């Protein structure tokens, strides 16, 4: 009897172990397969410097060169981080800081003026691996609002902090603050005066150069297969009543999800909020099985355009595929991946 039981037990053990081993082998080969298909591009980083009435005839050669130089520097910085195995979060932050420090973009140093003659900035950040997000809105003295957005993501229990509260939090986190006078630029000041003179409300695109959007954003895929995205802006020239656009709104201005893509938007913020643009693209991929470019083109060039919303998005999917669709005359944009670097301003 005992011998019989021992025999049954050993047979059961044999099959049990065996099937276990098989499952483990299957699992690890599946993992291997997913890993390679998930990251055919070792790393990818894509940026924008705003969409709008961007036409060659509206740009002086100096201005064009200045913008190109800043975009080159931003791509170089981001790539160096990703190449050496750094995280997409570090790459997005460092890349955006370069654009924020340039007077050419409507973010940080080049932020537009409100109706009251102030600079009120918004920024957001999302980690595609954890879905953690952070944003600041209406900040006036943080040199690099994207750093504050990252701090909200990593060091607070919240997603969005606004105005003085956000500034106090940033200060507590040791993030550099400046005298608001730092954000003064003559060309933005003149744009405000023109907008007021013309009796325009919050302006984004009526006048070719002065009011073009100029928001900045970055999305990246790192060597570990993690996606991240961030966006930073001064909002709209002549804005009133503490108006906040899409840039600090997760799902509208910024979105990142390791299962789909990472996106930063730029354009007429109210429409991007209403149509939850960045998340809508991700949802088409996640639930509708669409590829990144098809989803991004549809949302920006058809759905948003039909609704009257102007602007564009840049982003990268989990495989390193880039999409940069816009429905305006142009969008400052560029991307970098191993052996490839592209910078474009106008329509193809």
Residues near ligand ASP (CB under 6 A): 50, 106, 213-215, 233, 235-236, 245-247, 266-267, 269
Cα(348)–Cα(344) distance, rounded to whole angstroms?
Answer: 8
The encoded tokens of residue 29 equal 């080969």
Active site residue 25: no
Residue owning tokens 């705003």:
50
The β-bridge partners of 44 are 221
Residues 6+ apart with CB under 8 A from 66: 102, 104
Contact of 260 with 285, CB cutoff 8 Å: yes
Which DSSP letter does residue 141 get? S
Using alpha carbons only, how large is the chain's radius of gyration in Å? Answer: 23
Q: Classify strands 133-139 and 160-162 as parallel, antiparallel or unpaired.
A: parallel
Closer of 67 and 236 to ligand ASP (Cβ): 236
Contact of 332 with 59, CB cutoff 8 Å: no
CA distances from 298 to 13, 70, 146, 200, 265 (A): 55, 30, 29, 31, 14
Find the catalytic residue in 39, 87, 95, 215.
215
Contact of 217 with 229, CB cutoff 8 Å: yes
Q: What is the CA angle 215-51-232, rounded to 5?
A: 15
Residue owning tokens 């003295």:
141
Q: Which phi-psi region, left, alpha or beta, contains residue 107 (left: φ > 0; alpha: ψ -120 to 50)?
A: beta
Q: What are phi and psi of 138, to 5 degrees?
A: 65, 35
Q: How many helices (H) and strands (E) are present in the chain, helices listed first?
A: 10, 12
Residues annotated catalytic, as ranges: 215
């Amino acid at each position: 009897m005992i011998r019989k039981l021992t025999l049954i037990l050993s047979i059961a053990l044999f099959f049990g172990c065996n099937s276990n081993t098989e499952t483990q082998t299957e699992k690890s080969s599946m993992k291997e397969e997913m890993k390679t298909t998930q990251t055919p591009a070792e790393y990818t980083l894509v940026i924008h410097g705003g969409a709008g009435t961007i036409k060659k005839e509206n740009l002086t050669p100096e201005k064009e060169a200045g913008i190109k130089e800043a975009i080159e520097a931003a791509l170089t910085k981001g790539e160096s981080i990703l190449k050496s195995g750094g995280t997409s979060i570090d790459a997005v932050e460092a890349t955006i800081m370069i654009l924020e420090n340039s007077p050419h973009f409507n973010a940080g140093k080049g932020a537009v003026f409100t109706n009251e003659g102030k600079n009120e900035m918004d920024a957001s950040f999302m980690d595609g691996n954890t879905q953690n997000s952070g944003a600041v809105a209406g900040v006036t003295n943080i040199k690099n609002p994207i750093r504050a957005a990252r701090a909200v993501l990593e060091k607070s229990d919240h997603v969005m902090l606004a105005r003085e509260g956000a500034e106090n939090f940033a200060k507590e986190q040791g993030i550099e603050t400046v005298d608001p006078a730092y954000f003064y630029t003559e060309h933005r000041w003149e744009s405000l005066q023109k907008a007021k003179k013309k009796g325009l409300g919050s302006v984004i695109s009526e006048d070719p150069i002065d009011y073009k959007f100029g928001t900045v954003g970055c999305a990246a895929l790192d060597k570990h297969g993690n996606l991240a995205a961030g966006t930073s802006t001064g909002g709209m020239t002549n804005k009133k009543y503490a108006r906040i656009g899409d840039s600090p709104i997760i799902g509208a201005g910024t979105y990142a999800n390791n299962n789909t893509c990472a996106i930063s938007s730029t354009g007429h913020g109210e429409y991007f909020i209403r149509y939850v643009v960045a998340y809508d693209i991700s949802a088409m991929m996640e639930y509708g099985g669409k590829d990144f470019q098809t989803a991004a083109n549809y949302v920006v060039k058809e759905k948003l355009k039909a609704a009257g919303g102007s602007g564009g998005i840049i982003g990268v999917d989990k495989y390193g595929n880039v999409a940069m669709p816009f429905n305006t005359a142009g969008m400052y944009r560029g991307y970098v991946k191993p052996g490839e670097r592209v910078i474009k301003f106008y329509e193809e």
